[in-house]
Structure 1
Amino acid sequence: MNTKTKISVLILMGFLAVTSCGKKETTPAEPTETTETSTEGEQAPAAAATEENVLVIEGNDQMQFNVNELKAVAGKPIKLTLKHVGKIPKEAMGHNLVILQEGTDQAAFALKANDAKATDYIPESEKASIIAHTKLIGGGEEDTIEFTIDKKGSYPFICSFPGHVAMMKGVLIVE
């Protein structure tokens, strides 16, 4: 890691220490599942959300996703929206969501992503490891992507902004 990158990381960590103190942002664990009701009585709200493959995940200024597990149905299009519910711009607290192939070394991917600022921390050398990714967004922004995964499995997802993978990761379970 070069000196410029080290200084940037130190400044970011100092900024995070200052901004993360105080009132903690609270969001429901899975807002779509807790607010929907089923009128047929046959399907649970979670099943209805999964079958539609419409997923929403939020990232905040405390480097956290509001959920660490997403579920989808194999072979059906997935519409995933990433919302940055914080206020800090993407240059200091950018978030993206990168869905990786099963078995991908997340730490190694994140190290390569640190040097990929020009491509919003999506390393060109790791394209084969990526199933889909959102663009890098800042506070108040959102991005929606659509993709399909045909094979059932557990696919890790991360935020590839430098330093975020330690706290911003989870798994997309495709059933």
Structure 2
Amino acid sequence: GKHLGDIPFPERPSNLCFGGEDGKTLFVTARKSLYSLAMKVGGAGFKDAGAPEGNKVEVTISSVKEKLVYDVKSFTVRTGQKVTVTFKNPDFPPHNLLFVKPGQADAVAKMAVDMGADGFAKQFKPDTDKILWGSTMLDHGETEKISFTAPEPGDYPYVCTFPGHAILMRGVMKVVP
């Protein structure tokens, strides 16, 4: 590739990963800070089978062992459908699954980190109206069901708010008319 320049870091980077609302933003973490570089990358992207017909939809989403990702990156439902999401955590760290308002995943993740040590008692679930529905913090082997009615059309992110997990543990529920 072509060298585009150097980025000065106060410390040596410890991790590079992609995340963000679009899944194509490069994040660089150092010991004390998180730097975000907006960088679009090529690729085929995700395929979605479209919204299922009928009034009820059941979706199962699991954490992937030792990967800090969900196994379902996106799914589609129709406005007004009764949605039941079964969230499973086969991974060893604790994880949750929070559905948030469009464009609010990063803000909610930051609020969870800002909770500091108090976050453990509150399961790193900030008290905000930006969170629509969600699970509790699940330990290894636990499962929880989340039920709701699909809202107005839009892209509704879901994210794990345990500190540091939100960079990769996210997906999108697409709601269509």
With the length of structure 2 as denominator, give the TM-score of the two structures.
Answer: 0.64
Q: Distance in 2 between matches of 1:61 and 1:50?
A: 33
| Match in the other structure for 2:103 | 103
Q: 1:51 to 1:109 in 2, by over 3 A?
A: same
Contact 2:51 2:77 in 1 (8 A): no
Identity of aligned residues (%): 26
Q: Does 1:122 align with 2:120?
A: no
Contact 2:51 2:78 in 1 (8 A): no
Specify every segment of 5 or more residues in structure 2 that has no aligned partner in the other structure, as ranges: 1-45
**Structure 2 counterpart of 1:85, from 84, 90, 94:** 90
* Deviation at residue 174 of structure 1 after TM alignment: 0.9
Contact 2:85 2:147 in 1 (8 A): yes
Q: Give the structure with the higher percent helix.
A: 1
With the length of structure 1 as denominator, give the TM-score of the two structures.
Answer: 0.64
- Where do 1:26-175 residues align within 5 Å? 48=52, 52-62=56-66, 63-86=68-91, 88=92, 93-104=93-104, 106-114=105-113, 115=115, 116-124=119-127, 126=128, 128-175=129-176
Q: 1:49 to 1:64 in 2, by over 3 A?
A: farther
| Match in the other structure for 1:4 | none
* Deviation at residue 61 of structure 1 after TM alignment: 3.1
Specify every segment of 5 or more residues in structure 1 that has no aligned partner in the other structure, as ranges: 1-28, 34-44
